[in-house]
């Protein structure tokens, strides 16, 4: 079944039914934190409808919160089904990107696809400060790598269902562009600049950042200096992307690109 057909079927089920009685409503504080998370970079998703909001809340709810044994019973949907969908959407987007942008053998594509394994996903969520870990609803459950990774995948699934494949693709590639570039020695401009500067004893590399544009759709500008000399600038939707472009310009300035 094609992704579009799956999305249509799931959306009908998710948004085409009336909410069940007894289902725990989303409080105002919870609504505000979910909206705030999605409005910031790299998600940039604003104007979420009231009908779609429970979908995002569900993506950030661990199964430990579902039917927690309290009386009266408050039904809380967990993120397991969305995580299943998001896992395949995430893998598809990255596999499609690798196929279209890199000339790789199947075995090498599969190796690079390992960037989506659970421990790596949790590391990316935490190292990039995506904020997902801070608003996962759970009850008596430690915040493990698996819990964080599952919520991330569920959120990708929710974005896909609500906004479509192209929006999901933009979010995924904005988050993973450094990880994907690191898999390619030629395109890892920051790494190459670091190695070149060390080999030539050019001094310390420093990046300065500046953000412009609205919070829901930011543009980052990066400037790189090597040994105190400004050598490159770049602009992109994320800090990582801007730094990569600045490093690329610096390499060109140094005759290495």
CATH node for 189-253: 3.30.160.20
Q: Are 182 and 191 in contact (CB under 8 A)?
A: yes
**Distance between the two ends of the chain, CA-based, in angstroms?**
43
Q: Are 66 and 76 in contact (CB under 8 A)?
A: yes
Domain range annotation of the chain: 3-182, 189-253
State the DSSP code for 114. Answer: G
Handedness of CA 118, 120, 126, 129 (dihedral sign): negative
In angstroms, the CA 230 to CA 183 distance is 27
Rounded to 10 deg, the angle between the 80-101 and 165-182 helix axes is 60
Report the predicted TM-score, pTM, of the whole model to 2 decimal places. Answer: 0.67
Three-state helix/strand/coil letters over 215-235: CCCCEEEEEEEECCEEEEEEE
- What would the two tokens of residue 157 be? 């699934």
CB 106: neighbour CB atoms within 10 A? 8
Task: Tell me how long the chain is.
Answer: 257
In angstroms, the CA 59 to CA 56 distance is 5
Fold of 3-182: Ribonuclease iii, N-terminal Endonuclease Domain; Chain A (1.10.1520)
* Per-residue pLDDT of the chain in tens (257 residues, 90 and over written 9): 455 555 555 554 454 443 433 456 688 999 999 999 999 989 999 999 999 999 999 999 999 987 554 544 445 689 999 999 999 999 999 999 888 877 778 888 888 888 888 888 998 898 888 999 999 999 999 999 999 999 999 999 999 999 999 999 999 998 987 777 666 656 678 888 988 999 999 999 999 999 887 665 678 899 999 999 999 999 877 777 788 889 989 999 998 86
- What would the two tokens of residue 39 be? 């409005």
Sequence-ordered list of residues with C-beta below 8 angstroms from that of 75, at least 6 positions apart, any chain = 20, 22, 23, 24, 66, 67
């Amino acid at each position: 079944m094609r992704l579009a057909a799956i999305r249509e079927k799931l959306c009908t089920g998710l948004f085409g039914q009336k909410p069940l009685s007894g289902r725990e409503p989303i409080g105002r504080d919870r609504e505000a934190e979910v909206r705030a998370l999605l409005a910031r970079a790299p998600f940039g998703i604003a104007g979420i409808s009231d009908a779609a909001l429970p979908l995002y809340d569900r993506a950030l709810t661990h199964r430990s919160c579902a039917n927690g044994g309290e009386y009266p019973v408050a039904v809380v949907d967990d993120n397991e089904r969305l995580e299943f969908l998001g896992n395949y959407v995430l893998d598809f987007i990255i596999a499609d990107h690798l196929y279209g942008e890199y000339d790789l053998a199947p075995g090498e594509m599969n190796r690079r696809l390992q960037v989506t394994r659970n421990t790596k996903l949790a590391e990316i969520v935490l190292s990039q400060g995506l904020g997902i870990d801070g608003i996962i609803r759970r009850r008596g459950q430690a915040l493990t790598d698996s819990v964080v990774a599952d919520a991330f995948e569920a959120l990708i699934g929710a974005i896909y269902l609500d906004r479509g494949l192209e929006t999901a693709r933009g979010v995924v590639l904005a988050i993973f562009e450094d990880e994907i570039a690191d898999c390619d020695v030629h395109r890892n401009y920051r790494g190459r600049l670091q190695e070149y500067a060390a080999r030539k004893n050019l001094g310390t590399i420093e990046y300065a950042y500046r953000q412009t544009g609205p919070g829901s759709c930011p543009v980052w500008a990066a400037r790189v200096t090597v040994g105190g000399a400004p050598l490159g600038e770049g602009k992109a939707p994320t800090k990582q992307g801007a730094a990569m472009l600045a490093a690329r310009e610096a390499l060109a300035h140094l005759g290495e690109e």
